[in-house]
Amino acid sequence: MGEKEKIGTVFTYFSKIGVAGVRLSDGGMSVGDTISIEGHTTNITQTVDSIQMEHGAVESAGKGEEVGIKVSGKVRNHDVVYKIVEQPDTVS
């Protein structure tokens, strides 16, 4: 697994549809990214399958935007969202 970069926090969770509202305060995300959502009782690692913004699907979202993403488990307000950044192989 690569390094983690904080990209934002969860500000709401819609349990009936399994969607987290994420405020991208520190970085962006794109469909296909691997993210980790972590909190007091949350520890989820998953691939971003889709991103919703203003009721429409988008391929990516940048710092400062609020998005909805489908999550594979329950998340809570203030959980931190990290993007997993793959480290290139180093040649010795």
- Domains of the chain, earliest start first: 3-85 (2.40.30.10)
Split at pLDDT 50, 70, 90, the class of 12 is very high
- Beta bridge partners, 8, equal 81
Asked if the model's pLDDT at residue 89 lies above 70, the reply is: no
Split at pLDDT 50, 70, 90, the class of 90 is low
For the whole prediction, is pTM greater than 0.95?
A: no
Split at pLDDT 50, 70, 90, the class of 2 is confident
pLDDT recorded at residue 66:
98
Buried-exposed string 72-91: b where 16+ CB fall within 10 A, e elsewhere: eeebeeebbbbbbeeeeeee
On whether the CB atoms of residues 23 and 11 are closer than 8 A, the answer is yes
- Tens digit of pLDDT for each residue in 25-67? 999 999 999 999 999 999 999 999 999 999 899 999 999 999 9
Reference 19, options 75, 79, 59; nearest CA is: 75
Beta-carbon contacts of residue 64 (< 8 Å; ≥ 6 apart): 24, 25
Reference 7, options 31, 23, 19; nearest CA is: 23
